[in-house]
Amino acid sequence: MVEYDKFGPEKILSVYDAKTGMRGFVVIDNTSLGPAKGGIRMTGDVTIDEVAKLARAMTWKCAIAELPFGGGKSGIIADTHKIDDAKKQELITAFAAAVRPVCPSLYVAAPDIGTTKREMETFAKSNGSNKSCTGKPKTMCEGTACGIPHELGSTGWGVHHATLVALKHQKRDPKKITFAVDGFGNVGSFAAKYLSENGAKLVAVSDSKGCVYNPDGISFKDLNAVKKKTGSVINYKPGNVLKSSDTPTVACDVFIPAAKADVIHAKNWKDVKATLIVEGANIPIAHDIEVELHKKGVLIIPDFVANAGGVISSYVEYIGGSEDDVFPLIEKKIVRNTQLVLDTMTKKKIPPRDAAMQIAIERVKKAKKSNNRR
C-alpha cells in the first residue's frame, strides 16, 4: 500500500500497452524543487509500493544535494533475465510513449536496476525529447548537449569525498586508515579507486562470489585487473577468501557498503569493527540499527547524502553541461552537504540521518512555500 502524507506522492501514473504487454508506472513523489527525478527499475516483481518508497528517497536526495529536482521513480514489470534485447527495447519504447503526459514535464527518467544507457537512448528517442531522461550514451547529442553515462563513476567519486569529509571530522588521516568495500561494481570500484589514490589501505573487497581479505593491503590496480580478467575479486592474490556476508565485520577503520540493502542487520551489527560507515548502497542498514551503531560511537554518512553523485551527474547532463563539469560539481556539493550534516549532528546532538532529514525537509518545505506564494 502506498503511504500518502503532506509531501506526496503527488501523482501516480499506471500504464499498459496491449500490443507489447508492457505494464509499468511512474510515481511522482514531490515536485516542490523541480521536475521529479529518478530511475526506471525493470524487474519481474517491481511494485508501485516499492517505487513509491524509492521516489520518496529521491525527494530527500535531490534536496540534500541542492538540485532543482523533485523526487520520482518508475517501474516496468519485466524480468530482464528472461527476455531478449529486442523485447526489452520494445517494452522501453512502449513505456516512453505511454508516460509522455508526465515526462519530461513532471518526471525525468534515469537508469536503475535492469536499465542502462542503452535503454535511456531508446527511451529518449521514443519519448521524443532528450530532456526526458539522463544517463544517455555520450554519443547521443542535441547541439552541444550530449549524454553523460552513470558508468563514468560519478557516484563512487561522491562517496569518496563524503568519506574524506567524515575522516576530517574524526580528525583522522586518510593515509593512516584501512577500509573495506562491499560490492565491486560501479559505486564500490570507483570509491575503492579514489580512496586508494588518497593513500587509504584497502583491506577487503567483496562481490557476489565472495570477499577477499588481506590486512596488509590490496592493490586497487591489480584487483581491478583480476576482476576484469576472471570475473571476481576472490581470485586476487595474496589474500584470504571469505564469504561476501563477512565483509561488514572484517577488521577495518572504514566500511563502504556498495552492493545490497540490509548488509548490516540485527544479527551482525554488534560485530562491526569500523568506526566510520559511508553508505554507497541504498538502505544498507535498517534505520533502527543505524541508531544502535550511532550510540556505539560509529559515524554513519547516510545513503542519500553520500551516494548523490549519480543524480548530480544527471543534473549536469539535464542542463546541457559536459563531462568535465560533473566531477568538480559533485565534489563541491558532496563536501558542502556532508559537512553541513556533520555540523548539524554535532550542534543538535542527533544521529546524522536525522540531521540530514531535517535539512532536506526544511529545503522542500521552503520551496513549497515559495511556490505557493507565486
Per CB under 6 A, residues contacting ligand NAD are 150, 155, 182-188, 206-208, 244, 258-260, 280-282, 307, 310
Q: How many beta carbons lie within 10 A of that of residue 19, not counting itself?
A: 7
CA contacts within 13 A on the Cβ side of 53: 7
Nearer to ligand NAD, 74 or 244 (CB): 244
**170 closest CA partner among 338, 54, 5:** 338
Tell me the β-bridge partners of 230. none
- For residue 5, give the DSSP letter: B
Nearer to ligand NAD, 146 or 278 (CB): 278
Nearer to ligand NAD, 94 or 218 (CB): 218
Angle at 64 between CA 253 and CA 153, to 5 degrees: 60
Beta 276-278 vs 254-257: how paired, if at all?
parallel
Nearer to ligand NAD, 98 or 202 (CB): 202
Nearer to ligand NAD, 34 or 185 (CB): 185
Residue 111 CB, nearest approach to ligand NAD (Å): 8
Distance between CA atoms of 338 and 166, rounded to whole angstroms?
8
Residue 67 CB, nearest approach to ligand NAD (Å): 14
Nearer to ligand NAD, 174 or 302 (CB): 302
Is 73 labeled as catalytic in the residue annotation? yes
Residue 175 CB, nearest approach to ligand NAD (Å): 26
CB of 120 within 8 A of CB of 134?
Answer: yes
Residue 101 CB, nearest approach to ligand NAD (Å): 27
**361 closest CA partner among 36, 38, 1, 59:** 59
CA contacts within 13 A on the Cβ side of 291: 5
Which single residue brings its beta carbon nearest to ligand NAD? Answer: 185
Nearer to ligand NAD, 24 or 183 (CB): 183
Beta 22-30 vs 36-37: how paired, if at all?
unpaired
Nearer to ligand NAD, 162 or 187 (CB): 187
Distance between CA atoms of 121 and 254, rounded to whole angstroms?
37
CA contacts within 13 A on the Cβ side of 49: 4
Annotated catalytic residue, options 37, 61, 73, 136: 73
Residue 110 CB, nearest approach to ligand NAD (Å): 9
Residue that has been written with the C-alpha cell 547524502 in this structure = 305
SS3 letters for 162-215? Answer: HHHHHHHHCCCCHHHCEEEEECCCHHHHHHHHHHHHCCCEEEEEEECCEEEECC
Residue 60 CB, nearest approach to ligand NAD (Å): 13
Residue 208 CB, nearest approach to ligand NAD (Å): 4
CB of 327 within 8 A of CB of 313?
Answer: no
Distance between CA atoms of 278 and 352, rounded to whole angstroms?
11
Q: How many beta carbons lie within 10 A of that of residue 89, not counting itself?
A: 18
Residue 17 CB, nearest approach to ligand NAD (Å): 27
Catalytic residues: 73
